[in-house]
Structure 1
Amino acid sequence: MSKIKVAVFGCGAIAQRRHIPEYASNPDVELVAFADPVLERAQKMAEQYGGKAYASHEELLKTEKVDAVSVCTPNYLHAPMAIAAANAGAHVLVEKPMATTLEEAQQMIDAARSNNVYLMVGHNQRLMPPHVKAKELLDSGRLGKVLTFRTAFGHPGPEGWSVDGRGSWFFRKEEAAMGAMGDLGVHKSDFIRYLLNDEVAEVAGFVGTIHKEGTDVDDNATCLLRMKNGAIGTLTASWTQYRGGDNSTVLWCENGVMKIGTVNGDEVIVELRDGSVETYVVGAMATNEKQVPSGVIDAFVRSITTQTPPSISGEEGKKSLAVILAAFESQATGRMVKL
């Protein structure tokens, strides 16, 4: 079978560190084009990986016939670029949050459907080995029903990660729409939905800018979630964990507790009510410092080659986005928001 021709929109940090190298190491993929308004960035990628560089995605789509596109751009461009790619007949992998509004998310889903292409959202938390193992253990039923939980994601902020440092689009509301919640919180709303195999019913959120100077996007959020099946818990997202960043989840269940990534960040510990303790170390979590393969690219490519719709679909991405948007609504209104 011929290789999948892939283009990448946006050549910043996530493209350089995850999407592009992971495509390059996938035997089923040929990287054919890169688009970035900072043309030098696209040119650098083209020189390194082959293919052509473009200053705009429109020009790229006009010139190239591609099978699939990764959208790795500021949040406000996710929807228009994903829709343009779908309308050009390309499968789309979009970074999270998939869009800045639920209307945009639905337009993306509709565009993919009407053009008969796949839309996948880069919620890589589902694919991390410790999370896969945690889901398997939970689904086995040994822990019984999940009663309460906490899930968190925090690090020092995008200035150390983004190619533009403190001048990054992450800090500009008109481009990012949201801060730590769009960057980290949406990963956790997606993960808790996936892990519990349940939907969020109600959200209360405290969302604010506590410490990052000169930005109007949120740098911290703490949310209360009530799930449809009755479990209640917290979701936190932070850009101000300058020491001891967090990417952990704890579930208190009928028969014991499950702790994911609470010690070294990559282990699953099950402590049962009978006093027995099991520890599983199954593979690392991807972090900004440790770029282990995210699994997202391979999953996207596998969807295309096997003609199997991606499990992390546009519909899934939209549900995870809805939770985050509800937290902002709760902050603005001072009320609990029902989903």
Structure 2
Amino acid sequence: MKNTFTLSLCVILLTLTSTFAQKKPIKLGVVGLTHGHVGWILNREAKEDVVMVGIVETNRDLAQRLSNKHGFPMEMVFNSMEEMIAAVKPDAVAGFGNIYDHLAIVETCAPKGIHVMVEKPLAVSLEHAKKMEVLAKKHQIHLLTNYETSWYPTNVKAYELLHKGTIGALRKVIVRDGHKGPKKIGVSAEFLNFLTDPKLNGGGAIMDFGCYGANLMTWIQQGKKPNSVTAVTQQLQPENNPKVDDDATIILTYDTAMAILEPSWNWPIGRKDMEIYGEKGAIYADNKHDLRLRISEGYSGYDEEIFKLGERDAPYDEPFALLASVIRGETILERYDPYSLENNMISMEILDAAVKSSKTGRTVQLKN
């Protein structure tokens, strides 16, 4: 009886210890401060899931400006990833520098078992992406790509309606993303510098906003690659974006459907919206919260249902909560989830083909 009691007590203590250990906050290192989206972590309210333990940024003036604005101590700013990792031993790293450096982050962190989340797109090129994929799989780390549109409840609702057959078989998707242009909307000098550098960003609007549509289509099509990719780019603001494109149209063809992606730095009003057309109706994800469903009636008539959607449930309401949940094993990403490596490898293949098509003036065929 005594032995049974002792065994039961040990099991309870081990369970409590395990639960406590799982709930320890994920120690997050931030690599780079030049990306405008870094405010998402610097402004994040203190929570028990993630704690920022270190920052890597060689531009001390930039670090000091953001320290003054957001209140983090300059003592937590390091000059290199190696220095930061040795000092604070992060569980994960979030990349908020230029896109070219994403590969170097994975090269440094993966062998040490440190998980990585980068801002979209995954990489500047398919070549970089393939190297990152090999490292992530070899060292068994999570490698996530954060897209703002992954949080949108309208996109999730549109996906659900489509796959329930509400509008019939898929025929066409139109995805529009962008704004007036980095310089016109007043991004920081550091952010503008890499966004308009073809090496550091992989291109202009075609990469910066074309990735959203590639990512969404890969999710919608559950990993099926397009048969072909055709892209045309223009430079409508040479005075602001002298080295890169600022407007693009990308056409993806599938066996029974087509997608048109319209990434641009020339939209008069900022937008991230999607239209999905089926045989029986259409879905309009107008923004993060507003969605319209139209079911065809006759030639041009339709029955319309309007949805006003609230925020998604945690941890899908913001990227850092999701990162922590994935690392802890509490959340298993569905195959081809917008954050997943499987999705973003295909997204990079689409972007790579789009860039090649725009430069050669030819359609690029993809192998499924």
The 2-side partners of 1:82 and 1:294 are apart by 25
CA deviation after TM superposition for structure 1 residue 38, in Å: 0.9
Aligned partner of 2:148 in structure 1 is 124
Alignment partner of 1:225: what SS?
Answer: strand
Distance verdict in 2 for CA 1:267–1:206, change over 3 Å: same
Shift of 1:309: 4.8
Give me the whole-angstrom Cα distance separating, in 1, the residues matched to 2:43 and 2:112: 24
- 1:326 to 1:107, Cα distance in 2 relative to 1, 3 A: same
What is the CA–CA distance in structure 2 between the aligned matches of 1:307 and 1:117, rounded to whole Å? 15
Count of residues in correspondence between the two structures: 327
Matches of 2:59 and 2:258 in 1, distance apart?
45
> What residue identity is the alignment partner of 2:225?
E
Residue 362 of structure 2 is matched in structure 1 by: 335
Q: Does structure 2 retain, via aligned residues, the 8 Å contact 1:11–1:45?
A: no
Structure 2 counterparts to residues 168-179 of structure 1, below 5 A: 168-179=193-204
| Matched position secondary structure for 1:278 | strand
Provide the C-alpha distance between the structure 2 equivalents of 1:184 and 1:208, rounded to a whole number of angstroms.
14
Quickly say closer, same or farther: Cα 1:158–1:57, change in 2 above 3 A: farther
Q: Give the structure 2 partner of residue 103 of structure 1.
A: 127
When structure 1 is superposed on structure 2, of 69-78 and 164-173 the one drifting more is 164-173
TM-score (norm 2): 0.82
* Corresponding residue of 1:78: 102
Q: Distance in 1 between matches of 2:348 and 2:142?
A: 19
Contact 1:181 1:237 in 2 (8 A): yes
Question: Which stretches in structure 2 are left out of the alignment for 5+ residues?
Answer: 1-20
Structure 1 residue corresponding to 2:349, chosen from 322, 327, 330: 322
Q: Which runs of 5+ in 1 are unaligned?
A: 286-292
Listed as ranges, the matches of 1:22-171 within 5 Å are 22=44, 24-43=45-64, 44-45=66-67, 48-49=71-72, 52-159=76-183, 160=185, 162-164=187-189, 167-171=192-196
- Shift of the 130–236 alpha-carbon distance from structure 1 to 2, 3 Å rule, reads same
Structure 2 vs 1, CA of residues 296 and 166 (structure 1 numbering), >3 Å: closer, same or farther?
Answer: closer
1:46-99 per-residue CA deviation (whole Å, 9 max, x = no partner) reads 972467111222322233311000011111111111221222221100111111
Kindly indicate whether the alpha-carbon contact (under 8 Å) linking 1:128 and 1:295 is maintained by their aligned counterparts in 2.
Answer: no
Q: 1:328 to 1:145 in 2, by over 3 A?
A: same
CA contact (8 A) 1:206 1:331 kept: yes
The partner residue of 1:186 within 193, 207, 211 is 211
Residue 9 of structure 2: aligned partner: none
Are residues 18 and 87 of structure 1, via their aligned partners in 2, closer, same or farther at CA, if it must alter by over 3 Å? same
Change in CA separation of 1:294 and 1:206 when aligned onto 2, cut-off 3 Å: farther
SS of the residue corresponding to residue 304 of structure 1 reads: helix
Q: Distance in 1 between matches of 2:92 and 2:290?
A: 34
TM-score of the superposed pair, with normalisation by structure 1 = 0.88
Give, in whole Å, the separation in 1 of the partners of 2:160 and 2:199: 40
1:337 to partner: Cα distance: 0.6
Is the contact between residue 153 and residue 288 of structure 2 (CA under 8 Å) also seen in structure 1? Answer: no
Distance 1:29 1:45, change over 3 A: farther
Identity %: 25
Between 157-166 and 4-13, the greater mean CA deviation after superposition: 157-166
Secondary structure of 2:237 counterpart: coil
Task: Please say if residues 291 and 307 of structure 2, whose CA atoms lie closer than 8 Å, have aligned partners that are also in contact.
Answer: yes
Cα pair 1:201 1:338 within 8 Å, conserved: yes
Closer, same or farther: CA 335–166 of 1 in aligned 2, 3 Å: same
| DSSP-derived class of the 1:200 partner | coil
User: What is the one-letter code of the residue matched to 1:281?
Assistant: K
**Residues 1:17 and 2:39 are matched in the alignment:** yes
Maintained 8 Å contact 1:267/1:281: yes
Root-mean-square deviation (Å): 2.4
CA contact (8 A) 1:108 1:314 kept: no
Q: Supply the distance in 1 between the matched residues of 2:232 and 2:187 (Cα, whole angstroms).
A: 26
Match of 1:204 in 2: 230
Do the aligned partners of residues 294 and 17 (structure 1) sit closer, same or farther apart at CA in structure 2, a change above 3 Å counting? farther
Q: Secondary structure at the match of 1:169?
A: helix
In structure 2, the partner of 1:298 is: 321
**1:224–1:234 contact (8 Å) kept in structure 2:** yes
Say if 1:76 and 1:166 are closer, same or farther in 2 by CA, change over 3 A.
closer
Q: 1:45 to 1:309 in 2, by over 3 A?
A: farther
Distance in 2 of aligned mates of 1:5 and 1:323: 34
Q: What residue identity is the alignment partner of 1:217?
A: V
Deviates most, 7-16 or 251-260: 7-16
Q: Is the 8 A contact 1:42 1:54 kept in 2?
A: no
Letter of the 1:173 counterpart: P
Over alpha carbons, which structure has the higher Rg?
A: 2
Secondary structure of the structure 2 residue equivalent to 1:273: strand
Provide the C-alpha distance between the structure 2 equivalents of 1:309 and 1:87, rounded to a whole number of angstroms.
Answer: 22
Where do residues 232-271 of structure 1 align in structure 2 (5 Å cutoff)? 232-241=258-267, 243-261=268-286, 266-271=289-294
Q: Distance in 2 between matches of 1:154 and 1:284?
A: 22
Q: Give how far 1:313 is off.
A: 2.0
